[in-house]
Amino acid sequence: MQVPFVDLKAQYRAIREEINPAIQKILDDAAFILGGSVSSFEAAFAKLHGVKYCYGLGSGTDGNHLALWGLNIGPGDEVIIPANTFIATAWGATLCGATPVFADCDLDNYNLDPKKIEERITSRTKAIVPVHLYGQPADMDAILAVAEKHGLHVAEDCAQAHFATYNGRPVGGFGIASSFSFYPGKNLGAYGEGGAVATNDPDLARKFRMIRDHGSEQKYYHEVLGHNYRMDGIQGAVLGVKLKYLHEWTEARNRHAKLYRELLTGLPEFALPEEGSHAFHVYHLFVIRTPHRRRLQEHLQQSGVSTGLHYPVPLHLQKAFQHLGYRRGDFPMAELAADQVLSLPMYPELTRDQIEYVADCIRGFFD
């Protein structure tokens, strides 16, 4: 049996009869940049996540940058970021001219460890960027408490956590700002690049709206420095259709995670993902951990099962950040995760037979 890591074709086939007309309308109207499809999606997505303002962007990386740019983060400033995340989180700081300051993760949930934040704070620290990694919300109560104590902004990276909740509230509205990614493989994915930035602050919302469109609210009149971070009309149309299915797809991911747990509990030297009592995990990724990762991944590949590595090199050891002077051993939990985590196939269209096959292959490896 062949089990892909993700199957975007299967999802497209299931909604093709709605997607194709939505795209065709954009072509017929020639509404290629922003437009009604984007604004409709922005309003629906904002409502879903309990935020007042949401703006569609060209990518999640745009959102990471814009969230901090709007907060006036700049040269000389420092931003605390998890060492265990995708590098786009750090680009938000670097694109502003600020310095990313890394902090270790909690190995139970792989998110930023709130207990490790204060030791990273200096007089130059301006913001904390928690990531709701793999689809599980970070411990926002503890993070917000540290931020309030030190007068810091919190900008959530929600790239992997559409529809996730913390203590019953959707992610994206806990900090002063938040960013989302709609990369095709995400729980809510575009048919190309896409992202968003969100806030409940009206003044910050106005800055976001202007910065994404060349610093302008009126064409050819530019009030602030800006960029071209606008969302394409086609992506707005695609996301508008797919948003209607997000609840259904999220439920499917949780069913798959439950089945994986039932089938894989009790293996030696094998850790299943843990769910915090405060969190509703949306399982963008189903990540296991084992010291035998390399051989297990090879075994699964030979058996027709595709897997992923998220992420094999923690940020503080990336060549791009070697000038910051970090060394192996600085963040042991992030390094352990980088060495041992493996992402199993996870997408709504997975079948029970496929999950059982993956589990049988894993159990066969350990047997």
pLDDT in tens, 20-31: 999 999 999 999
Nearest C-alpha neighbor of 235 from the set 187, 174, 273, 194: 194
Q: Above pLDDT 90, what percent of the chain?
A: 99
**Measured in whole angstroms, how far is the alpha carbon of residue 171 from the centre of its chain?**
11
Strand partners, 2: none
Give the confidence band of 145 by pLDDT, cuts at 50, 70, 90.
Answer: very high
93-108 mean pLDDT = 97
HSE-CB of 133 using CA atoms within 13 angstroms: 30
What 8-state DSSP symbol labels residue 75? T
What 8-state DSSP symbol labels residue 239? H
* Range with lowest mean pLDDT among 28-32, 97-101, 198-202, 337-341: 28-32
Other Cβ atoms closer than 10 A to 265: 9
Residues ≥6 apart with Cβ < 8 Å to 66: 57, 179, 197, 208, 211, 212, 227, 229
Q: What pLDDT was estimated at residue 238?
A: 98
Nearest C-alpha neighbor of 18 from the set 351, 253, 245, 185: 245
**pLDDT higher than 90, residue 295:** yes
Q: What pLDDT was estimated at residue 269?
A: 95
Give the confidence band of 277 by pLDDT, cuts at 50, 70, 90.
Answer: confident
CA distance 145 to 57: 30
User: CB–CB of 351/122 below 8 Å?
Assistant: no
Q: What pLDDT was estimated at residue 276?
A: 87
Strand partners, 197: 55, 179
Q: What pLDDT was estimated at residue 81?
A: 98
HSE-CB of 70 using CA atoms within 13 angstroms: 30
Model confidence pLDDT, tens digit, residues 13-66 = 999 999 999 999 999 999 999 999 999 999 999 999 999 999 999 999 999 999
CA distance 344 to 151: 40
Tokens at residue 335, please? Answer: 């390094």
Q: Please provide residue 148's backbone torsions phi and psi, each rounded to the nearest 5 degrees.
A: -65, -40
Q: Above pLDDT 70, what percent of the chain?
A: 100
Model confidence pLDDT, tens digit, residues 112-142 = 999 999 999 999 999 999 999 999 999 999 9
Q: What pLDDT was estimated at residue 367?
A: 86
CA distance 276 to 270: 19
**Measured in whole angstroms, how far is the alpha carbon of residue 345 from the centre of its chain?**
17
Residue ranges of domains in the chain, CATH in brackets: 8-243 (3.40.640.10), 246-366 (3.90.1150.10)
Model confidence pLDDT, tens digit, residues 208-265 = 999 999 999 999 999 999 999 999 999 999 999 999 999 999 999 999 999 999 999 9
Q: What pLDDT was estimated at residue 1?
A: 93
Model confidence pLDDT, tens digit, residues 66-91 = 999 999 999 999 999 999 999 999 99
Mapped onto helix, strand or coil, the DSSP state of residue 82 is: strand
Q: What pLDDT was estimated at residue 299?
A: 97
Please spell the DSSP secondary structure of 158-213, one letter per residue. -TT-TT-EETTEETTSSSSEEEEE--TTSSS--SS--EEEEES-HHHHHHHHHHTB
Task: Give Cα separations from 87 to 12, 83, 280 (angstroms).
Answer: 28, 9, 24
> Helix crossing, 60-70 with 202-211: angle to 10°?
130
